[in-house]
Amino acid sequence: MFWEVLGKEQKKLLPALRFLKKAGFYLSGGTSLALQIKHRTSVDFDFYTPSEFDSTAVYQKFLEQKPESILLNRLAEDTLLLELNNTGVSLFTYPYPLIKSFVISDYLNLASLQDIAAMKMIAIIQRGTKRDFIDLYFLIKKMGLAEILKSSKEKYRGFNEYLALQALTYFGDAEGENKKRKVKFFEDFDWEKAKKFFISEANKIKEKWKRK
């Protein structure tokens, strides 16, 4: 586990997040990916659970951890958005099956690379941020686009591969977003080269489909 991708405040939070393992939550998103492949620094924690949960009870549990600072941004049914020690922490019910078992660490349960990749693909279809594209770039490098499409079909009933490839080559939303926080890369990354890479990888899949 590459704990060095976390900032100082995030590392200090880890003991306060440990109770989420027993409560059935797992970490996914860019932070979970960074902890496993060390491609970039992390900016927040995104937790998910397949079950419904009592947001108020979980919030009270966070208060019991006595963080240095806590700001409640949203408390709703099966949703909790917080800032702990100036670090974003989000919790959601996410009723989709896990493809692979958790990656288990001392503090957190982490989603597998296959699950993260499928979730990133859906995020890009819906309206991906630049960070979503960045994460998927490194995932494709590691796993291959065909494997990610396969995982996405396994995780999401009715997943549309054609729509996914179309979304993978549309960068308007990502380039138009308001950048709030910058991340540091542990591997070489260039946005313009990444766009060409996505287009090339999508075209390779399309060519394979034509030959079938």
Burial of 132 (C-beta count, 10 Å sphere; 0-12/13-18/19+): buried
Q: Strand locations in the chain, DSSP E?
A: 26-28, 44-49, 70-76, 79-84, 87-93, 103-104, 109-110
- Tens of pLDDT along the chain (212 residues) come to 999 999 999 999 999 999 999 999 999 999 999 999 999 998 899 999 999 999 999 999 999 998 889 999 999 999 999 999 999 999 999 999 999 999 999 999 999 999 999 999 999 999 889 999 999 999 999 999 999 999 999 999 999 999 999 999 999 989 987 666 678 999 899 999 999 999 999 999 999 998 87
Burial of 18 (C-beta count, 10 Å sphere; 0-12/13-18/19+): middle
